[in-house]
């Protein structure tokens, strides 16, 4: 799709960009299809409620299309990416309306109105323009937490390849390389954008979904037990949890997206390995070439460590 002459990072520089500082405050932006489930909202809230560690500077609305739940109704049908992005902007604002304002709120930006797949051209949306400007101005590595189709991030890389030297993308997307297939929502939404992440040479930590992140499960009773009548944001999560169509009798819901936030909070909760960046075939399955640049791939997550911190932060959100 693109003949972009990507900058080539040395191995030393790539490793430096992928190394999250063990201490201190880390600059973060989140790219999220916020209205399509419940995990995006929880991830955003958790990031905001850890100000001593995360400097959450901006939240970008990513496009999505699917049949999911939305405010005021049990289900909505999102039939084009612009609608999904717009609904996500609205949901991001709802989340921050329910969070305390003891610190500066991050800026919120509209993202892509179309996918790279099918269009073939990067779109310089407000989110993309902000990511480019913010990355270029960064004095330390900007951690880009991607929890949706990576359309906005891929567009920024295509328009401004130089930001490769300033950012570390942590993407929840694709399935484990040992999984039976690669039919994963974030990757499938925009395969062209997903390929950009793996082909561009950007410093990338991939958190596969099935085979790795699917251990991050909770349930309606658990969320309602811990969150009801606690903080405003906790009560909101308890309220919307039953609307999520994947949660039913004796079932659990994977809160996938918190894995990107948890990685920046404490990489020690994760077991990773370095692998050559995979190729995405036309059927979306993985192929491998050991000559390609290295990325970091998460293999295992200490689930309870993330949930203990997450639940406590949500419960205590309104406390001084």
- Is 60 exceeded by the pLDDT of residue 68? no
For residue 193, tell me if it sits in a domain. Answer: yes
- What's the pLDDT at 16? 95
| DSSP code, position 170 | E
Report the CATH number at residue 29. 3.90.245.10
The boundaries of the domain holding residue 270 are: 11-316
- What's the pLDDT at 71? 46
For residue 312, tell me if it sits in a domain. Answer: yes
For residue 1, tell me if it sits in a domain. Answer: no
- Is 50 exceeded by the pLDDT of residue 69? no
- Give the distance between the most distant pair of CA atoms in the chain: 54
For residue 229, tell me if it sits in a domain. Answer: yes
For residue 3, tell me if it sits in a domain. Answer: no
- Number of structural domains (the chain) is 1
For residue 51, tell me if it sits in a domain. Answer: yes
Residues 6 or more apart in contact with residue 171 via CB below 8 angstroms? 146, 150, 153, 186, 197, 204, 205, 206, 207, 260
Task: State what percent of residues in the chain have pLDDT above 90.
Answer: 83
Stretch 165-190: mean pLDDT, rounded? 96
For residue 235, tell me if it sits in a domain. Answer: yes
pLDDT tens digits for 123-174?
A: 999 999 999 999 999 999 999 999 999 999 999 999 999 999 999 999 999 9
Higher pLDDT pick, 46 / 246 = 46
| DSSP code, position 62 | P
For residue 2, tell me if it sits in a domain. Answer: no
Which stretch of DSSP H or E encloses residue 93? helix 81-97
- What is the Cα–Cα distance from 273 to 129, expressed in whole angstroms? 32
- What is the Cα–Cα distance from 79 to 138, expressed in whole angstroms? 36
């Amino acid at each position: 799709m693109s003949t972009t002459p990507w900058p080539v990072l040395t191995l030393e520089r790539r490793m430096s960009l992928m190394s999250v500082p063990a201490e201190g405050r880390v600059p973060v932006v989140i790219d999220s299809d916020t209205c399509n489930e419940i995990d995006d909202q929880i991830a955003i809230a958790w990031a905001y409620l850890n100000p001593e560690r995360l400097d959450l500077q901006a939240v970008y609305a990513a496009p999505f299309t699917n049949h999911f739940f939305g405010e005021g109704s049990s289900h909505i049908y999102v039939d084009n990416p612009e609608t999904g992005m717009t609904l996500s902007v609205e949901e991001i604002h709802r989340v921050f309306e329910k969070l305390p304002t003891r610190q500066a709120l991050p800026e919120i930006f509209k993202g892509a109105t179309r996918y790279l797949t099918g269009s073939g051209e990067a779109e310089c949306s407000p989110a993309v323009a902000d990511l480019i400007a913010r990355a270029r101005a960064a004095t330390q590595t900007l951690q880009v937490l991607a929890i949706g189709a990576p359309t906005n991030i891929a567009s920024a890389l295509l328009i401004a390849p130089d930001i490769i030297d300033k950012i570390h993308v942590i993407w929840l997307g694709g399935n484990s390389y040992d999984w039976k297939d690669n039919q994963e929502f974030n990757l499938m939404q925009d395969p062209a954008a997903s390929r950009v992440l793996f082909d561009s040479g950007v410093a990338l930590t991939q958190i596969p979904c099935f085979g790795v992140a699917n251990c991050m499960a909770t349930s309606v009773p658990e969320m309602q037990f811990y969150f009801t009548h606690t903080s405003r944001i906790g009560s909101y999560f308890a309220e919307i949890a039953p609307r999520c169509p994947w949660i039913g009798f004796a079932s659990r819901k994977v809160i996938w997206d918190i894995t990107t936030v948890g990685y920046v909070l404490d990489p020690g909760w994760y077991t990773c390995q370095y692998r050559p960046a995979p190729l995405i075939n036309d059927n979306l399955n993985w192929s491998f070439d050991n000559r390609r640049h290295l990325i970091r791939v998460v293999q295992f997550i200490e689930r309870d460590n993330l949930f203990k911190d997450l639940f406590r932060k949500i419960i205590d959100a309104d406390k001084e």
